[in-house]
Structure 1
Amino acid sequence: MGDGEAPGGRRRVVRMLEWAVWCGRAWWDRLMSELRVRAATARDLDAVLAFWKIAAEGTSISDDRDGVERLVARDAGALILAESGGELTGTVIAGFDGWRCHLYRLAVHPDHRRRGIASALLTAAEDRFVRLGGRRADAMVLQDNGTAQHAWTAAGYAPEERWRRWVKPLAP
């Protein structure tokens, strides 16, 4: 027994740690049981566009009602949403062109980050890709977004340094 340690003190600490782990697990289980991941519908589009203004980094030429409407009409399962308590908490676009799997707009509401929502969205996206026959996924990640780069790295993604994205706007 250490200096000043009461009998059974070590057991009490172990029980307290077990309780803390159990509480953490219960919190995680409760969060995941409340999380609903689903494909977006046309009814969700205005909420998604408003959500991206709060939660997503950067803007895109396609961040308008027409662009997102075309996405959902062309590929109904591509825009994946996460909801908790009826509130939109995250999005990802999981586009598959029959050859490559592309991930865009992984966004989690700032008040809900670091709770496994991005992981749940990526799992849904990757499962979708596998069902469609995809073999490798790539993600569009802003170079200056360190938080996003950390999240993508934690999910098992890595930068592909040999390639650079080239773009050309097709419409004014």
Structure 2
Amino acid sequence: MDKIKIRTASIAEVPIVLAFWARSAEGASITDDADGVTRLLTRDPDALLVAERDGAIVGTVIAGYDGWRCHLYRLAVDPDQRRQGIAAALLAAAHERFVTLGGRRADAMVLDHNKLGQHAWRAAGYHAEDQWSRWVRPLT
């Protein structure tokens, strides 16, 4: 097998990324559509990192930085290629991006019921903070 290559996604790949998330990511978000991902890439073309092997996307992470905080979303790895260091490579690239941009701390959105995801985040050095709750309000 070829080595993993980490790179940024392009707007042309939005349909491929959405199909990848449908089979590889846990849960769905209000912004998991072509308009949402296209807006992300238009605003910050380097935010969506993909892991590629043999020309196919095998992992993703959104590494968003708003000038204040570093946020990680949509860490997903192809179910057939897990436990091969893909998530670790994606997070290393995201952390490098954040440091370059001046970020000081990264946070991750992890579903409470996603035990596999929680294990991956713990293995990467993240921990849940019990004093915080996510408050949301859909705008559309």
Please indicate the TM-score interval, normalised by the length of the shorter structure: over 0.9
User: Counterpart of 1:77?
Assistant: 46
Higher relative contact order (CA 8 A, sep 6+): 2
Over aligned residue pairs, what C-alpha RMSD do you find? 0.8
Q: Determine the structure 1 residue equivalent to 2:125.
A: 156
- Alignment partner of 1:34: what SS? coil
Would you say 1:138 and 2:107 are equivalent positions? yes
Give the structure 2 partner of residue 51 of structure 1: 20
Give the % identical residues. Answer: 61
Q: What does 1:22-171 align with in structure 2 at a 5 Å threshold?
A: 34-171=3-140
Alpha-carbon deviations, 1:41-91, whole Å to 9, x = none? 111111000000000000000000000000000001100000011111000
Structure 2 gap segments, 5+ residues each: none
Report the AA paired with residue 124 of structure 1: A
Q: TM-score, normalised by structure 1?
A: 0.80
Question: 4+ runs of 1 displaced by more than 3 Å?
Answer: none
For residues 3-29 of structure 1, the C-alpha deviation after alignment (integer angstroms, 9 at most, x for no partner) is xxxxxxxxxxxxxxxxxxxxxxxxxxx
Letter in 2 for 1:89: V
The one-letter amino acid paired with 2:114 is N
Q: Could you tell me how far apart the structure 1 residues matched to 2:87 and 2:135 are?
A: 27
Q: Distance in 2 between matches of 1:80 and 1:43?
A: 14
What is the count of residue pairs matched by the alignment? Answer: 140
